[in-house]
Amino acid sequence: MDLEKIVKMLIECCGVEGWWPSNDPFEISVQAILTQNTNWKNVMKATKNLKEKGLIDPKRMYEAPLEVLEDAIRPAGFYKLKAKRLKEFLEFVMTRLDGDITRLRNIPMEDARNMLLSVHGIGKETADTILLFALNLPIMVVDAYTKRVLRRLGFDMPNNYDEIRKMLEKASPKKDAKTYKLLHSAFDELAKNYCKKKTPICSKCPLEKYCKKLI
DNA sequence: AGCCAGGCCTGCC
DNA sequence: GGCAGGCATGGC
């Protein structure tokens, strides 16, 4: 089977609109860092704590003592590490973007990506998550679920992140942010709901026969 | 009760 | 340029 067809089915059958449960670019960026190798439910607890302390704000978070930040994000795990990473990110946002992450939309996406990658603690997946979900820019995000689903469907995967990303972008019917968001959500929903719980979520769509391979 | 989660960096080779 | 080890909490 070819990748273009699978990608199309994934988008149509399993894609979820509004999948990232936030609309605020800064909040999404923070969550992108908090979710590194971490259960999403724990990220939501950390987010709630940050909101209660009024820290979902670049200036306030930048100025908050490290211990306060650590305490708020503790449920998300790796909390000392991530508090430092958030600080590094905020240093970047405050000094290079005047406190406004959306300013990255004003420069070519490749340049924005490289700037994000220069921040200590932001790797390719986190950078691309910020570009796609926080800034609505057209770039595909590859994560552990993406690789797992593709592997189980029988595609032999390059293990280079950017090669996988470009492979998916090439196979996508449209090269826009909306489509990439749907595709990413589809991989994650499929991996979580089907691979794990083994409950079919596509019983009436053409993907069903491929879903059986995902168990 | 363990195993694992929406990665990234370091330090080795 | 690849890969093990460390980071840490809460879910299931």
For residues A26-50, one letter each, b for 16 or more C-beta atoms within 10 angstroms of the residue's C-beta and e for the rest, the string is bbbbbbbbbbbebeeebbbbbbebb
Mark which of A134, A169, A204 sits at the end of a domain.
Answer: A134
Residues A149 and A123 placed together within one structural domain of the fold: no
Residue A167, amino acid = M
Residues A154 and A106 placed together within one structural domain of the fold: no
Residues A155 and A78 placed together within one structural domain of the fold: no
Comparing CA positions, the residue from A162, A142, A148, A121 lying closest to residue A213 is: A148
What pLDDT is stored for residue A96 in this prediction?
Answer: 98
Domain containing A41: what range?
25-134
- Any strand C atom closer than 7 Å to A199 CB: no
What pLDDT is stored for residue A197 in this prediction?
Answer: 53
Residues A75 and A30 placed together within one structural domain of the fold: yes
* Residue A54 CA distance to nucleotide C1 C1' (Å): 43
Nearest nucleic acid nucleotide to A147, CA to C1' distance: B6
What pLDDT is stored for residue A206 in this prediction?
Answer: 57
Residues A56 and A97 placed together within one structural domain of the fold: yes
**Rounded distance, CA A196 to CA A102, Å?**
36
Helix axes A177-190, A144-152, angle to 10 degrees: 70
Count of domains for chain A: 2
| Per-position pLDDT tens, chain A of length 215 | 689 999 999 999 889 999 999 999 999 999 999 999 999 999 999 999 999 999 999 999 999 999 999 999 999 999 999 999 999 999 999 999 999 999 999 999 999 999 999 999 999 999 999 999 999 999 999 999 999 899 888 888 888 999 999 999 999 999 999 999 999 999 999 888 766 555 555 555 556 666 555 55
Residues A150 and A111 placed together within one structural domain of the fold: no
Residue A93 token pair: 């946002």
Q: What is the total residue count of chain A?
A: 215
Residues touching nucleic chain B (CB < 7 Å): A 19-21, 35-40, 42, 77-78, 81, 120-127, 129, 133, 143-145, 188, 192
Q: Residue A58 belongs to a domain with what CATH number? A: 1.10.340.30
The answer to whether A193 and A199 have CB atoms below 8 angstroms apart is yes
Residues A40 and A124 placed together within one structural domain of the fold: yes
* Residue A114 CA distance to nucleotide B11 C1' (Å): 24
Mark which of A134, A156, A180 sits at the end of a domain.
Answer: A134
* Contact residues for A66 (Cβ-Cβ < 8 A; gap 6+): A83, A84, A87
**Cα-flanking dihedrals φ and ψ of residue A143, to 5°?**
-135, -175
